[in-house]
A = this chain, B = another copy of it.
């Protein structure tokens, strides 16, 4: 972070704005569009302004492309494309995309084999599908309008989407015409509509990363399978003479069982028949497991982890350079002929109006001040490189009073001050930890004493009331001592608040006997989590968890997308295959047995519940797939299905195992990488302050505010003027000559990476600028004059001139 607080003296800042205001009067554009004569304040600039608006908009688009890592060859090339671009790039459109994709995915709940409660007629769900597909066609046509036909065809992901859409369309029509569902494995491809959504960018990145990690993964997998084959042949030769050993009687069985053994799922059963015959046969299994499970599987993790680290760094580098290029493109659109060395506030303000429409006038000015580190009225390119870091800041006026009760009368102040000191004291905190610990032990002992009796008592236990009272008092003290806003601004306090609220709701539930809400009472032990504030390592771990959460969620979503594909395929092939007392011919018949017989004079229900792990509808499939992911006893499910269908079904289960293994390995590598990265970062910055995000302080003087208001008045921006006047009024009220503002945002992985790779980044930049210079020299040659990357606005304007 190169952001430093560079206070400029009041006079200078004021004249800065005035100069800006003057500059606003005579627009001087790079391509020298004629500046209109002076006239009425609100109309004289309209034509020049229109030209500038184009530039602002395009610069904003460049910056967005930089941020989203969109390649510049999809940059809109003309006004029609721009209109389509703008249409396709707003949250309404994104939401439409997302809704359509979700609708298509959720249809599988209602299509046969449907979840019983949600079953819909073929007519209904096929029509719904057709409708959703038509919406997708509309989306794609907008995209084609924006990209142009040639770029559209070159864009692989979009082409795949078009193809899938085509197939889905035909199939939906066929279903509607025939009025009956056929085998529609292609439904698994519906995921692509979700993956292509703007909001699922993270999922796309994950998928790309998974595919990039595949080659080394496959190599090691081959090693793994190779050893499996060798041991399969060995095992077959060694153990097939033993006729009581069902695991190695054929080569196929031998291989399948060694595959399952790789997942440890059939160990030690697979060893037992041969072990019973000859104790030394255990050596075969120990060697196999040592090589395959303990060595090669870990090697797999190591290789993936290594590749992952490498890709992560490369990705960071390319993203950083892409952003830099975007900033350069935007910069070139915003400088004027008169001020070729920087962007004036006027133009930055214009850019921000498009880039962040909801930013208020005050924040726009603060952003300008934060960017401008040279005390000149212009933001140079070097300053502008910080754009992404600065624009994310949330600005807030720095309050002068320390506590919320500073302005109360003396007595009240003293009381609240006392509470404040009490609440902030170590003793109070440790007392509360003790209470929580005692409460935890109490709950444990209480639960232990119940032992299956009537454990949801009709009357509220007194311990519940005592502890709740203590928590309530703590809540009250903290809220009054710190002030509600400061209290809730800490994540831990907010957590305390929620837990206490839940406990209170639980009390009400108990008091009024509202049975359906009993689960709230059951959630009580969660407040024990508060104990984890105590140790630094836990705080670290929890911070890491919060930092990881978005990426974890996107990885989870990626996994769900794989689940969906496999669920669809599973449903098409295995729906209704397993049921109670099926699979009697297989070795796992016991697990599917459902008997209701009488022993003596007691009815005994022998229940092997595995028939519940089926593919009868999407929800069941998901649960079954989760069980397959956990791996334990997955072969029971596999063998059950196999015995009712064909040997080839095993392919499905084995493929699923390998796919989840890939994803899980990536998840492990990701957690490892993130954690180790953070720890290294902390070790590198041990001396620096407690990590609480990025904070920047800027002072604004009243004179600046007034000048700013004048500027907006000239431009007839009444809304902004009103906003600014409110701030001026506030300054007047407290009789302050200036006001301090704090810009704040949480630290992202990118910030950490910038600090970690500080030295390398400079090298990258140099290399990049060398490359760019070379490219520019190439571009200067006449042959490449129709370069599609040439900024749209500039070309347009030069056309206007001609």
Interface segment among A48-56, A225-233, A317-325, A721-729: the answer is A225-233
Q: Does chain B have a CB within 8 A of A609? A: yes
> For residue A448, which residues in chain B have a CB less than 8 angstroms away from its CB?
251-252
Are B444 and A299 in touch, CB under 8 angstroms? no
Q: Given A264-B631, A541-B299, A626-B286, are A234 and B676 neighbors across the interface (CB < 8 Å)?
A: no
Q: CB of A627 within 8 A of chain B?
A: yes
Contact with B along A451-464 (1 / 0, CB 8 A): 11001100000000
Residue of B282, B633, B672, B683 touching A302 (CB-CB under 8 A): B672
Q: Indicate the member of A230, A295, A613 with the most B CB atoms within 10 Å.
A: A230
A423 at the interface (CB under 8 A from B): no
Query: Which residues does chain B contribute within 8 Å of A226, judged by CB atoms?
Result: 528, 531-532
Cβ of A273 within 8 Å of any chain B Cβ, yes or no, is yes
Decide if A140 is an interface residue (CB 8 Å cutoff). no
| A309: Cβ under 8 A from any B Cβ | yes
A4 at the interface (CB under 8 A from B): no
Decide if A667 is an interface residue (CB 8 Å cutoff).
Answer: yes
Residues of B near A104 (CB, < 8 A) are none
Q: Mark A176-215, 1 if CB is under 8 A from B, else 0.
A: 0000000000000000000000000000000000000000
Report yes or no: A223 in contact with B302, Cβ–Cβ below 8 A.
Answer: no
Contact call A305/B272, Cβ cutoff below 8 A: no
CB pair B676–A305 under 8 Å, yes or no, is yes
- In whole angstroms, how far apart are the Cα atoms of A529 and B227 in the complex? 9
Q: Is A233 in contact with B630, judged by CB distance below 8 angstroms?
A: no
Could you say which of A289, A632, A668 has the most chain B C-beta atoms within 10 Å of its C-beta? A632
A608's nearest neighbour on chain B, judged by CB, is B272
Q: Does A523 contact B (CB under 8 A)?
A: yes
A613's partner among B219, B268, B293, B668 (CB-CB below 8 A) is B268
A234 contact from B229, B236, B525, B607, Cβ within 8 A: B525
Determine how close the nearest CB of chain B comes to the CB of A241; give it in whole angstroms: 9
Q: Do A451 and B299 touch (CB < 8 A)?
A: no
Cα distance, A275 to B538, chains bound together (Å): 34
Q: A298 interface residue, CB < 8 Å from B?
A: yes
Report yes or no: A630 in contact with B293, Cβ–Cβ below 8 A. yes
User: Is B233 a contact of A525 with CB atoms below 8 Å?
Assistant: yes
Q: How far is the CA of A740 from the CA of B639 in the complex (A)?
A: 68
Are B269 and A526 touching (Cβ within 8 A)?
no
Contact of A667 among B244, B298, B535, B630 (CB under 8 A): B298
Q: B630–A267 contact, CB under 8 A?
A: yes
A462 to B609 alpha-carbon distance, docked (Å): 52
A619 in contact (CB, < 8 A): yes
Interface check A81, CB cutoff 8 A:
no
Closest CB-CB distance, A580 to chain B, in whole Å?
A: 11
**A161 → chain B closest CB, angstroms:** 31
User: A535 CB to closest chain B CB, in angstroms?
Assistant: 7
Q: Are B668 and A238 in contact (CB under 8 A)?
A: no
Closest to A231 in B: B525
A306 interface residue, CB < 8 Å from B? Answer: yes
Contact residues in B for A303 (Cβ distance below 8 Å):
541, 675
Once the chains are docked, how many angstroms separate the CA of A450 from the CA of B519? 61
- Docked CA distance A244–B447 (Å): 20
Task: Report the Cα distance A448→B306, complex, angstroms.
Answer: 38
Instruction: List A residues 24-81 near B (Cβ within 8 Å).
Output: none
Inter-chain CA distance A455–B537, complex, in Å, is: 61
1/0 per residue, CB under 8 A from B, across A570-589: the answer is 00000000000000000000
Q: In whole angstroms, how far apart are the Cα atoms of A434 and B433 in the complex?
A: 70
Quick one: which of B286, B452, B541, B612 contacts A250, CB cutoff 8 A?
Answer: B452
Q: Write out the residue numbers on chain B whose beta carbons fall within 8 Å of the beta carbon of A605.
A: 244
Indicate which residue in B219, B249, B272, B668 contacts A298 across the interface (CB closer than 8 Å): B668
Q: Mark A658-670, 1 if CB is under 8 A from B, else 0.
A: 0000001001100
Q: Please name all residues of chain B whose beta carbon is closer than 8 Å to the beta carbon of A267 when the two chains form the complex.
A: 627, 630, 632-633
What is the CA–CA distance of A88 and B265 in the complex, to the nearest angstrom? 50
**Pick the contact of A609 from B275, B521, B525 — CB < 8 Å?**
B275
When distances are taken between beta carbons in the complex, the residues of chain B under 8 Å from A447 are 233, 236-237, 251
Contacts of A627 in B (CB 8 A): 267-268
Known: A623-B282, A632-B267. A230 touches B528 (CB 8 A): yes
Is A671 an interface residue when CB atoms closer than 8 A count as contact? yes
Cβ-defined contact, A455 with B240, below 8 A = yes
Question: Which residues of A (258-307) have their CB < 8 Å from a CB of B?
Answer: 264-269, 272-273, 275-276, 279, 282, 286, 289, 293-295, 298-299, 301-303, 305-306
Q: Does A220 lie at the interface of the complex (its beta carbon under 8 Å from any beta carbon of B)?
A: yes
| Residue A418, interface by CB 8 Å | no
Nearest CB in chain B: distance from A544 CB, A: 8
A630 near B301 with CB under 8 A, answer: no
Instruction: Give the interface centre of A519, A541, A552 by most chain B CB atoms within 10 Å.
Output: A541
Within 8 A of B (CB), among A651-695: 664, 667-668, 671-672, 675-676, 679, 683
A250 closest partner in B (C-beta):
B451
Q: Is the Cβ of B279 less than 8 Å from the Cβ of A619? A: yes
A714: interface (CB < 8 Å) = no
Q: Does A522 contact B (CB under 8 A)?
A: yes
Distance from A49 Cβ to chain B, minimum over Cβ atoms (Å): 53
Complex alpha-carbon distance, A249 and B528, angstroms = 23
A443 at the interface (CB under 8 A from B): yes
Residues 145-185 of chain A, each 1 if its beta carbon lies under 8 Å from chain B, else 0: 00000000000000000000000000000000000000000
Given the complex, which residues of B lie within 8 Å of A633, measured CB to CB?
A: 267-269
A179 to B230, CA, bound (A): 51
Quote the shortest CB–CB distance from A131 to chain B (angstroms): 30
Whether B523 contacts A223 by the Cβ 8 Å rule is no
Please name the residue on chain B nearest to A613 by beta carbon.
B268
Is A550 part of the binding interface, using a Cβ–Cβ cutoff of 8 Å?
Answer: no
Write the nearest CB–CB distance from A663 to chain B, whole angstroms: 11
- For A521, the chain B residues whose CB sits under 8 A away are 237
Chain B positions within 8 Å of A788 at CB level: none
Contact B298 A452 (CB under 8 A): no
Does A121 sit at the interface, judged by CB under 8 A?
A: no
A401 to chain B, nearest CB (A): 40
A216 sits at the interface (CB 8 A): yes
Pairs across A and B, CB under 8 Å, 22 listed: A219-B537, A220-B541, A223-B541, A229-B444, A229-B525, A233-B443, A233-B444, A233-B522, A234-B523, A237-B455, A237-B521, A238-B519, A238-B522, A250-B452, A272-B609, A275-B612, A276-B609, A294-B664, A294-B667, A295-B545, A301-B668, A305-B672
